[in-house]
A and B are shown apart, each in its own frame.
Chain A
Amino acid sequence: MKPNIIETKHLSYSFGQRQVLQNLSLRVPKGSIFGFLGPNGAGKSTTIRVLLGLLQVPEGQVRVHGKDLKYNRLEILQKTGALIEMPTLYRHLSGYDNLEITRRIVQAPKSRIGEVLEVVGLHHDATRKTKEYSLGMSQRLGIALALLSDPELLILDEPTNGLDPSGIREIRNLIISLNRDFGKTIFLSSHLLSEIEKTATELAIIDKGVMLYQGRMQDLYQNAFRSQVLTLSCDNTTIAAKLLSDHQYQLIAHEAETITVQLAEKKQVAAVNRLLVENGLEVYSLNPGSQSLEDLFLSITNGDTAVNLPSETLQPAQL
C-alpha cells in the first residue's frame, strides 16, 4: 500500500449558507496521476483552494505530505506546485522574468529556470513578453512556474481549459512525462472526461460537493463497463421498437434509421436478432457496444443510467 500524499477526512466546506463540499474523503496515492473529475460547479476548484490553504478548514480534515495543513501550511507549500485555472502571468514581463519572480520567492537555484523551460518546451520563447504568448504557451509557462521549486506534488486545476486539440495534447503529454520521467504525483482536475481517461491512473468523480466514485482507473472500467448496448437498423424501426419494448427491452434511443437498446448481457444480441427476424423484419446491422466513460460519467452525475448513445454509433456507417 503506497502512502497517500493527499488525504482529506470528511472534508466539508460552505460559503455562508451554501454547502459546497460535503464529507469529502480523498486519498491520493503517491506517484499517481489522480484525475479529479466533475461537472462545472461540482466543487473541484473549492477543493483545490482548500488543499492549498487558500480557504481555511478546521484541523484534522486535510493532510498533505502526511502533515496537517492547518499547522504546516508553509512546509506543505514548499513541496507543492500549483496551477489554478488561468496561470498568474505578469503580462508586461517576459516569460523568463515571470519565472524569476517565483524563483526568488521559492529560492530555487538560478539554473532551475533553464531546466523548467526545457521541460515545458518554452526555452525559445523565454525572452518574449508573455502578453504575446498563446493560450497554450501561457498554460505551459504556468506549469513551469509550478515546477520551479521541484515539488513532489503538482496540483493542476483545469490545465487544458480553453486550449485547442493540439494544445490539449501537448499538456497531456507533459503531464504523463512529469509523472513517468520525473516521478511527480499529479492531482489533475478537469470537467473533460477524455482528458482524465487518457492520463489518470486514479480517479475520483465528484458532483455537487459529494464524492460519487473513487478508485483506480482500471477498476472503474472493470466494474462499471458491464453496461451493454446494441444499436441496430432494420427496414421498419417503428415496428421493431414496438416489438422490443413489448418484450421488456429498454429502449435508449429511437431514430429514423436506428434503434438503441439496453442489454443485460452480450448473448441478448442474438435473441434480439431472432425476435426481429421471426417477426418478419429485415435486419441490416447489429452494433453491440459498451458505454464509454463519458456516458458513464454523465449517467453517474445525472443520477440515472444510460442516457446517451454509445460513442461508437456516432461514427458513419461502414459499407
Chain B
Amino acid sequence: MKALTYMQSSLSAETLKLKSTFALWMAVLAPCALISMYFLAFWAKGENLVNKEVGAWVSFGMNNFIVYTQLLMPVFIALLTSMTNGIEHKANGWKHLYALPLPKSTVYFSKVLITLGLVLLSTVVFIVALIMAGTVLNWLRPELGFGTYEKLDIIIFSSFKIFLASVVIIAIQFWLSIRFNSFALAMGVAIVAIITTLVANRWEYINYYPFAYPLMVMKGFMKKEYQVFTEEVVLSMVVGCVVFILGYLDVARKKVL
C-alpha cells in the first residue's frame, strides 16, 4: 500500500518536471510530422500510392509504418529517453532525488513509467493524426477511397502492437540514458540499430534481434496477422522487463556523487 503512495507521488512529481520541456512536445510533434509528410504525398500523388488490393487506409498506414519502424523509431526513442533522463542530469538532480524519502526503486520505475507513457502518448497521437489526415484526404480527394474507413481497426491494432514491440528498445535506451549523460551515445546506438536492421533485413535470425521487433510487427501486418502476442511482442516485453530490472540493479548499486 505504501509502495503505491510512493509511486503515486513520484509519478506526479515526474510529470511536473516534463512541463514545457521539448521531450513532451516531441512526443506529440514527431508522429504529426510523419503523418503530415505522407498526407502531402497522398494528396499530391495518391493515385500512385494507393494499392487498390488493400485499400486506401492500409496503404496509408503501411507507408507510415515502414518509415516509422525502420528509420524513425530508433531515433525517436533515443531522443525521448535521453531528453527525459537528461532533465535530471541537467539539473544535477540525482543526489537531491535520492536524498528524498523515496525508495530507489520508486525513483527508477516512476521514470520508466513516464518514458513508456510518453511513447504510448505518441502512439495515440499517431492514430489520431492518421485518422484526421485520412478524413481530410477523403474530403480533398474522394476518389482515393478513404471514405470507407475500411480496415482502420487493423491499423490501430498494429500501432499498439508496434508500441509493445518497441518496449525492449525503450528499455535499452533508458538504461543507457540514465547511466550516462550522453546524447551522442544514445544517438550512436540508434544509428547502429537502424543500419544493422536495414542490412540484416533478410537474415534468417533477424526475428531475434531486439531492434528489429517493430519491423517484425510491420511484416506481420502485411501478412494480415491479427494476433496480439506474436513472437516478437512477447520477446520484446519479456526481454524489455529483464533489461529494465538489470538497469535498476545497476543504477541502485551505483554510488551517487
- Partner-B contacts on A (CB < 8 A): 49, 52-55, 74-75, 77-78, 80, 82, 84, 86-93, 97, 100-102, 104-107, 145, 149
Contact = CB atoms under 8 A, between A and B. Distances in A.
B101 A78 contact: yes
B49 to A, nearest CB: 41
B45 interface: no
A222 B19 CA distance: 55
A93 B21 CA distance: 9
B255 A54 contact: yes
B202 interface: no
Nearest to B106: A105
A226 to B, nearest CB: 41
Contact of A90 (B87, B98, B102, B257): B87
Contacts of A89: 91
B92 A86 contact: yes
Contacts of A54: 95, 98-99, 255-257
A247 to B, nearest CB: 55
A65 to B, nearest CB: 12
Interface stretch (B9-17, B137-145, B155-163, B178-186): B9-17
Given A54-B255, A90-B93, A105 B102 contact: yes
Contacts of A97: 16, 19
A87 B95 CA distance: 10
A197 B237 CA distance: 59
Contact of B93 (A75, A78, A82, A88): A88
A88 B9 contact: no
A49 B20 contact: no
A275 to B, nearest CB: 57
- Smallest CB-CB A-B distances: 7 pairs: A88-B96, A54-B256, A77-B101, A104-B13, A78-B101, A88-B93, A52-B99
B90 interface: yes
Nearest to B87: A90
13 contacts: A53-B99, A74-B103, A82-B96, A88-B92, A88-B93, A89-B91, A92-B19, A97-B16, A102-B13, A105-B13, A105-B102, A106-B101, A145-B96
B256 A105 contact: no
Contacts of B16: 93, 97, 100-101, 104
Given A74-B103, A100-B16, A49 B256 contact: yes
Contacts of B99: 52-54, 77, 80, 82, 84
B33 interface: no
A205 B97 CA distance: 29
A105 B87 CA distance: 17
Interface string B13-54: 100110111000000000000000000000000000000000
A101 B100 CA distance: 11
B100 A102 contact: yes
A93 B256 CA distance: 24
In this complex, the member of A84, A86, A97, A104 whose beta carbon has the largest number of chain B beta carbons within 10 angstroms is A104
A84 B95 contact: yes
Interface in B153-196: none
Nearest to B2: A74
Contact of A49 (B19, B21, B95): B95
A49 B257 contact: yes
Contacts of B92: 86, 88
A49 B95 CA distance: 8
A182 B172 CA distance: 47
A80 B98 CA distance: 12
B12 A77 contact: no
A101 B18 CA distance: 11
B180 to A, nearest CB: 19
Contacts of B17: 90, 93, 101
B9 A107 contact: yes
Contacts of B96: 82, 84, 87-88, 102, 145
Contacts of A92: 19-21
A209 B252 CA distance: 26
Contact of A105 (B10, B20, B95, B255): B10
